[in-house]
Amino acid sequence: MMTPGTYNSISKIAMIGNYMPRQCGIATFTTNLCDHLVSEIINGRNMIVVAMNDKPEGYAYPARVKFTIRADVQEDYYWAAEFLNAGQYEVSILQHEYGIFGGKGGAYIFHLLKALRMPILTNLHTILEDPTGEQRLIIHEIGQYSARLVVMSHKAEELLVCTYGVPKSKIVFIPHGIPDATFEESGVHNELLGVEGRDVVLTFGLLSPGKGIENMIKSLPAIAKAHPKVIYIVLGQTHPHVRAASGDSYRHGLQQLANSLGVREHILFQNNFVEDEMLVRYLQTAKIYALPYLKKEQITSGTLAYALGCGAAIVSTPFWHAQELLGNGCGRIVPFNDQAGMAAEIIDLLRDDRGRESMRMRAYKRGRSMTHKEVARQYLRLIANVKDERRYTPQHVHAARQNFKVLDELPEIDLAHLRIMTDDTGILQHARYCVPDRNHGYCLDDNARALIVACMYYSLHPDKAILLLLQTYLSFIHFAFNAENDRFRNFMSYERHWLEATGSEDAHGRALWALGTAVKYAPNESVRRMAMLLFRDGLRAVEEFTSPRAWSFAIIGVHAYLEKYSGDARARRIRTKMARKLFALFKNNASEDWPWCEDKVTYANARLAQAMILAGQWIPEPEMFAAGERALGWLLSIQTADAGHISVIGNGGWYGREGKEASFDQQPVELMGLIDASLELYVATGDKKWRQEAERCLGWYLGRNDLDTQVYDFETGGCRDGLESDGVNANQGAESTLSWLISLLRMYEAMGMSELSGSRLV
């Protein structure tokens, strides 16, 4: 056993994560852990931080921060690894939360992890019970790169083993650190805080809608009636990401609620981010600490840990961490959204001084093993153990990359031509060369694809300048919906006259694909609600559709929609119905040498395979999934030239059972479908073969095709309209440019996972 302050074998530690003065819980956690690790090792100067930045200008960091990473800049992750490798740091401790790293699900972090030449300890701040395929794969692979995964609750251990397949031997429990506060009498700092003579009920933390503050305010009239001296202090700023999206509207809404309930004199909003010393004073003086969270899926709560360690009397909803910490009389639990129950427990505790003080003392004693100093010592013991393991049982170290192979091949995302093609109505259909052609007006198909581009782009690069485009395309889709027949119109003249009352089933399906994507990626609640309501209206008609491609587009849209509204039973039922109709076509028409649902392979073929892959995975129906996988593999094989590049079926005759193939006109939209479907399989299975197929398809745009000609135009940012027998079609219409952009955005999403190994996770 090592003596505190004499960890002689541990000399160089690198911490990776958010760091103060950035204002968030992870930054506070990381800063406190670093401060106390430094106090326990011999040479504190060798404790350094690699800090994550969520804004270009960064923060005024202290000297301990030696390197910074811009979250959305992929090269920064590689150079951070090079910096740490060159400094010969003995161990890196990563603070992981999906949202603080760039890429889909924060997958850019793998650029750093795979290049580090030292043991990695990863502290997981968020572990989901029902993760998406990407989220599950990310945690699974972080476990492969990490010597240990550190969790701060026992529920987290259970989820890692059962949901993510992480070996129990890889997991270490170390509690959330807390200040080593003294146990004080409630009200000790009332005068200092300006609430002399009041009974303080406290909630602190960055404000966001999931915290349930509105439920606590609704409990306040009953509490104030029983205890007129009560004052509810809401301590903390609005979360920076919430404020960036919607300003302080959430806080203002809470204030208006308090006014409407007549409890304004019983509530105090302290719009401050306070550091630990002042926070402890608030907790010491509070008679009650309230945690009215809305959902159970809170694996760790720093605010709960702090309140427990300061000896607060805690009343909480039953989220996971609260259930774990507040047993044995250390706090009281009330059901979610039970405002009357919350009021009753607080009223009872304010009345029962002896019972409340007894609860406070039990909580305080329980927190003694969680102080920052004790937590730092547990980390140091873990580091020592990992170093010993590495000494006696050398581990494979992932070699640093000499270059960014995938990054070098992916062009920058250029929206210049998209902007040129878009006016205040929507995106125009056609172009003469790179100049918009107004003669052909607009169509729903292209504005649906454009909405997908805007949403995906904003999810990777939250630039508010894109929001005008996004809202323009969404407005077009809204205008296209004909409420008289529940159908979308497709074609509109340049003079804004609809040219039909009802568009094709395929166009309707594409609109649902776009709206489901907008629900999934929406930059704010207003856009999400608009897209959700329009999606639900458009879904009414699809059960009567007969087009397999319309079914497929709708299935893809429903899947994206269900990632946010998974409880929508109607959407799940319609997805199942359409998927089974599609699967029945395959079963009735396919043979050993023709695994296809029709006698001719025509257009949007990969979308049929993609729909079965998604629906088969999530209904679930493994046979359907396997049929989709087989169909996609076959489509790729029959569209591969002898030289190995992709040669898509042209629309000048298609491809029938007799084997005659139309080589031209080859359309960019077909590559987009192949890329989408291949990447869905990559995420579902972890098999790198499917990512490589997507890269092969992207190569078609860049010149790896039958004519050895670039279809994408690097100068304009547009994509030419296809390959014809006498050369490339030089016009750069909307469909082609949008197909390129969606393909490229999907590859950027997948890039952060480009080196992931692949055990099947379906």
pLDDT along the chain (762 residues), means of 10: 50 92 91 90 80 90 94 88 88 93 88 90 92 86 93 93 91 94 91 92 87 93 96 88 74 91 93 86 94 89 92 94 92 95 96 94 93 94 87 48 41 93 98 96 98 94 91 98 96 96 97 97 94 96 96 97 91 96 95 93 96 95 96 96 92 79 84 97 91 94 91 94 88 97 92 41 24
State the Cα–Cα distance between residues 185 and 281, nearest whole angstrom. 11
432 membership: H or E segment, kind and range = strand 428-432
Q: In sequence order, what are the residues at sequence separation of 6 or more whose Cβ sits closer than 8 angstroms to the Cβ of residue 544?
A: none
Pairing of the two strands 600-601 and 655-656? antiparallel
Kindly state the helix (H) or strand (E) to which residue 91 belongs, with its residue range: strand 91-96
Residues 6+ apart with CB under 8 A from 291: 203, 301, 303, 304, 307, 314, 315, 316, 317, 319, 322
What secondary structure letter does DSSP report for 602? -
Helix (H, G, I), strand (E, B) or coil at 119: coil
> What residues contact residue 119 under an 8 Å CB cut-off, 6+ apart?
90, 91, 92, 147, 386, 387, 390, 395
Per-residue pLDDT, 88: 85
Distance (Å, whole) CA 605 – CA 506 = 13
Contacts of 111 (CB under 8 A, 6+ apart): 74, 77, 78, 81, 404, 752
pLDDT of the residue at 399: 38
* Closest CA relative to residue 178, chosen from 52, 365, 431: 365
- Rounded Cα distance between 725 and 719, Å, is 18
Q: What is the pTM (predicted TM-score) of this model? A: 0.59
Question: For residue 514, how many C-alpha atoms fall within 13 Å in the half-sphere facing its CB?
Answer: 31
CA distance 265 to 276: 27
Collapsed DSSP state (helix, strand, coil) of residue 98: helix
Tell me whether residue 626 is exposed, middle or buried, using C-beta atoms within 10 angstroms of its C-beta: 0 to 12, 13 to 18, 19 or more: middle
Task: Using alpha carbons, list the distances in angstroms from residue 637 to 55, 63, 634, 641.
Answer: 45, 56, 5, 9
Domain 405-751: CATH class, spelled out: mainly alpha
The yes-or-no answer to whether 13-177+372-392 and 405-751 have a common fold is no
CA–CA dist 491, 443 (Å, integer): 4
**Would you list the domain boundaries of the chain?**
13-177+372-392, 199-369, 405-751
**Beta strands in 553-616, from DSSP E residues, in sequence order:** 600-601
Q: Hey, what are 565's tokens?
A: 């509204």
Q: How far apart are CA 557 and CA 478, in angstroms?
A: 16
Q: Return the HEC string of 307-370.
A: HHHCCCCEEECCCHHHHHHCCCCCCEECCCCCHHHHHHHHHHHHHCHHHHHHHHHHHHHHHHHH
- Candidates 584, 501, 484, 582; CA nearest to 540 is 484
Under 8 Å between Cβ of 191 and 319 = no
Backbone CA torsion sign across 593, 594, 595, 601 = positive
Q: Is residue 501 exposed (0-12), middle (13-18) or buried (19+ Cβ within 10 Å)?
A: exposed
Give the side-chain half-sphere CA count within 13 A for 542: 33
Which residue, 641, 632, 736, 618, is CA-closest to 681? 632
Report the pLDDT value the prediction gives residue 337, as an integer from 0 to 100.
Answer: 93
CA distances from 678 to 129, 342, 610, 692, 758 (A): 26, 50, 8, 9, 14
For residue 631 the two structure tokens come to 């169909």
Pairing of strands 428-432, 435-443: antiparallel
- Angle between helix axes 353-367 and 302-309 (nearest 10 degrees) is 110
Residue range 199-369 in CATH 3.40.50.2000? yes
> Could you give the CA distance from residue 256 to residue 269 in angstroms, rounded to a whole number?
12
- Report the distance separating Cα 254 and Cα 483, nearest Å: 36
17 phi-psi bin (left φ>0, alpha ψ -120 to 50, beta other): left
Q: Which of 461, 289, 377 is nearest to 469 (CA)?
A: 461
Pick the CATH number of 13-177+372-392 from 1.10.1740.10, 3.40.50.2000, 3.30.9.100, 3.30.420.40: 3.40.50.2000
